[in-house]
């Protein structure tokens, strides 16, 4: 199946609203795009939003997704192919509900699809599935990755071949229930004066299906080297981790959730610490914001989503636009509405 791709120019829809770019596909709702270049082609691993009638709440129960489709295109601006269902929740033996934002990686001649989903106890865990082709179909492992928890995995493979998973999300993503890697369902959201919850990371084993070290907190610091507090919610971590490398620096980017920014922080090691540098994408239409960043043919791109097609926060559509760096390595803030 193919669909019209985006043009990263100013576009007005029928309501007269202006959008920086247009949805990559219109025949299904897609969100949380994790893009990668495999074999010279861009593959996008998004969530597949559907209207299942689950009422909206603060835990994101209305994000009730049941499968993944993989999209691909030769280049930004080209035709987008929807490769159909790549993994269905019914084929994940341990999964119960809510197949949230995935990511993918290639190693050992195999494509790995990483995904968060609630287990039969209602706890988010991270699973992995494999395929010989980037578009799948993928076969899920029988159990979640041991010691994994919460949501939004991002797998980054460094130049030396070491692979790291960054993950976590607060509120509906349950990260606030995990302290010292132990689960306590009674632990609620942090108060304004509390230290903000940090994202998590782990080194992956060579088989890409296990952690080979402990789950660590990712240290995110403000411009003065201090940790964020919950009240710094226009800058503190909420969900949607992404890692990329630019000119030898590690760029950790994420969503601030309830303030709807996509921010980034930079560091000199995949383990951090990462120092806050600014906003990549100002708030989009819709509650959530989630992205990925890739380089293709010497240009850098931001994949993101909004709710242009539906106007509903749980029925989103993925988009792409070019991303620009300044000479000093800072990223120019993108306004999705012009």
Q: Cα separation of 270 and 258, whole Å? A: 26
Give the shortest CB-100-to-ligand FUB separation in angstroms. Answer: 4
Task: Annotate each residue in 145-174 with x if it binds ligand FUB (CB under 6 A) or - if it does not, as one string.
Answer: ------xx----------------x-----
Q: Does 306 bind ligand FUB (CB under 6 A)?
A: no
Q: Does 243 bind ligand FUB (CB under 6 A)?
A: no
Q: Does 239 bind ligand FUB (CB under 6 A)?
A: yes
Burial bucket for residue 308 (CB in 10 Å: 0-12, 13-18, 19+): buried
Other Cβ atoms less than 10 A from the Cβ of 246: the count is 15
Q: Does 62 bind ligand FUB (CB under 6 A)?
A: no
Of the pair 96, 158, the CB lying nearest ligand FUB is at 96
Of the pair 85, 107, the CB lying nearest ligand FUB is at 85
Among 221, 219, 218, 260, residue whose Cα is nearest residue 238:
260
Of the pair 131, 288, the CB lying nearest ligand FUB is at 288
Q: Cα separation of 278 and 287, whole Å? A: 20
CB–CB of 94/120 below 8 Å? yes
Q: Residue 141 catalytic? A: no
Q: Residue 327 catalytic? A: no
Give the shortest CB-47-to-ligand FUB separation in angstroms. Answer: 4
The residues facing 325 across adjacent strands are 331
Q: Does 264 bind ligand FUB (CB under 6 A)?
A: no
Q: Which of 82, 103, 152, 239 is catalytic?
A: 239
Q: Cα separation of 330 and 251, whole Å? A: 10
**Cβ density class 267-304: b for 16+ within 10 Å, e for less:** beebebbbbbbebbbebbbbebbbbbbbebeeeebbbb
Among 154, 201, 153, 199, residue whose Cα is nearest residue 176:
199
Give the shortest CB-300-to-ligand FUB separation in angstroms. Answer: 21
Judged by CB under 6 A, the residue of 118, 260, 290, 319 near ligand FUB is 290
Of the pair 136, 169, the CB lying nearest ligand FUB is at 169
Which residues contribute to the site for ligand FUB (CB under 6 A)? Answer: 31-32, 47, 60, 63, 100-101, 151-152, 169, 239-240, 288, 290
Q: Which residues are annotated as catalytic?
A: 32, 239
């Amino acid at each position: 199946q193919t669909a019209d791709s985006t043009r990263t120019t100013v576009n007005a829809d029928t309501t007269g609203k202006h959008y920086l770019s247009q949805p990559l596909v219109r025949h299904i709702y897609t969100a949380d795009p994790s893009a990668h270049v495999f074999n010279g082609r861009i593959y996008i691993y998004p969530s597949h939003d559907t209207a299942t009638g689950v009422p909206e709440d603060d835990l994101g129960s209305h994000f009730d997704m049941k499968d993944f489709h993989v999209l691909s295109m030769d280049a930004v601006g080209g035709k987008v192919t929807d490769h159909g269902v790549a993994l269905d929740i019914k084929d994940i033996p341990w999964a119960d509900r809510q197949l949230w934002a995935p990511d993918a990686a290639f190693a050992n001649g195999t494509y790995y699809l990483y995904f968060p989903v609630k287990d039969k106890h209602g706890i988010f865990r991270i699973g992995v599935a494999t395929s010989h082709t980037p578009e799948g179909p993928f076969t899920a492992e029988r159990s979640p990755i041991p010691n994994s928890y919460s949501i939004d995995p991002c797998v980054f493979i460094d130049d030396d071949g070491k692979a790291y998973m960054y993950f976590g999300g607060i509120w509906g993503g349950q990260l606030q229930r995990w302290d010292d890697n132990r689960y306590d369902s009674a632990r609620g959201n942090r108060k304004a004066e509390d230290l903000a919850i940090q994202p998590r990371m782990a080194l992956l084993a060579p088989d890409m299906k296990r952690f080979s070290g402990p789950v660590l907190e990712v240290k995110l610091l403000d411009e003065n080297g201090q940790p964020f507090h919950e009240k710094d919610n226009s800058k503190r971590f909420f969900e949607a981790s992404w890692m990329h490398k630019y000119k030898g620096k590690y760029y950790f980017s994420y969503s601030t959730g309830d303030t709807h920014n996509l921010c980034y922080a930079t560091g000199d090691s995949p383990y951090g610490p990462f120092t806050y540098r600014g906003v990549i994408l100002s708030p989009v239409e819709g509650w959530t914001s989630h992205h990925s960043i890739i380089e293709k043919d010497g240009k850098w791109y931001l994949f993101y989503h909004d709710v242009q097609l539906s106007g509903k926060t749980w029925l989103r559509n993925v988009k792409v636009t070019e991303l620009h760096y300044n000479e000093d390595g800072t990223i120019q803030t993108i306004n999705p509405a012009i």
